[in-house]
Amino acid sequence: MGKLVVANNLTLTYENNPVIKSSNFTINSGDFVFLTGVSGSGKTTIIKSLYGELKPHSGNLRIGEFNLFNISKSKLSTLRKHLGIVFQDFKLIPEWNILKNVMLPLLIAGVNKNEAEQRAMEYLSRVKLSHKADKFPAELSGGEQQRAAIARATIHNPVMILADEPISGLDEYSASLVMDLFIKANQKGITIVIASHSIPTEFSINFRQLHIEKGKIYELA
């Protein structure tokens, strides 16, 4: 398995306030990774650095061929097209209906509208949201928005899915639907990184756990 993400002496800060201090970790292609830690430990911070929203303060951070320390705007766009991100606050486009929201990565990839629509309907049915396709984000419950966001993050077969607390706040039904989607995606070879304060019980597949504590990242067996 090739190394997809390599972090060396990575330090992440907000205005010189270090959150992650000189840490090392790697994520291999096809890994299913849980990024754990208490609230405020820096899970979201690491996810943000992985999609280039937060520039490393020092050290190295590479994803595939991209060096996130000095990535250009156009390369960042290219990288992001190959990621599927589930944000902690969903970030659905409020003035678009759910169907169009889910279509977004396909539209960006230049897939024609009809085909994108079909695929989006298919992915909506996977998260049991077909009946809400023409509703707007504000008309959906938190759990439903979460599921729509996950459909959007998986629809374009990304290389890696970054999901920030995708199941916290979900009821058991939604949570199992969502985890199922991630597992299916992983079986297709997609690398999964899930930030979560805990790992769901009864989790059947092989996974790795990277744990953040006091700004350092440890691999737990």
- What residues line the site for ligand ADP (CB under 6 A)? 14, 19, 37, 39-45
When CB distances are held under 5 to 8 angstroms depending on the partner's kind, the choice from ligand ADP, another protein, Mg ion, none that residue 80 binds is another protein
- Return d(Cα 55, Cα 49) in angstroms, integer: 6
CA 6, CA 60: separation in Å to the nearest integer?
8
Write the CA distances from 145 to 25, 89, 141, 142, 152, integer angstroms.
Answer: 31, 9, 6, 5, 10
- H-only helix segments in 13-96: 43-50, 73-81
The binder of 45, among another protein, ligand ADP, Mg ion, none, by C-beta within 5 to 8 A per type, is ligand ADP
Q: How far is the CB of 97 from another protein (least distance, A)?
A: 11
Closest distance of CB 177 from another protein, Å: 23
Only one residue has tokens 């938190």, namely 142
- Considering only 18, 24, 28, 80, the residue that binds another protein (CB under 8 A) is 80
Return d(Cα 109, Cα 29) in angstroms, integer.
Answer: 22
Q: What is the DSSP string of 117-131?
A: HHHHHHHHHHTT-GG
Instruction: Confirm or reject binding of residue 55 to another protein (CB under 8 A).
Output: no
The residue at minimum Cβ distance from Mg ion is 44
Question: CB of 83: closest distance to another protein in angstroms?
Answer: 8
When CB distances are held under 5 to 8 angstroms depending on the partner's kind, the choice from another protein, Mg ion, ligand ADP, none that residue 204 binds is: none
Q: Which stretches of the chain bind another protein, using CB under 8 A?
A: 51, 53, 76-83, 85, 87, 91-96, 104-105, 107-108
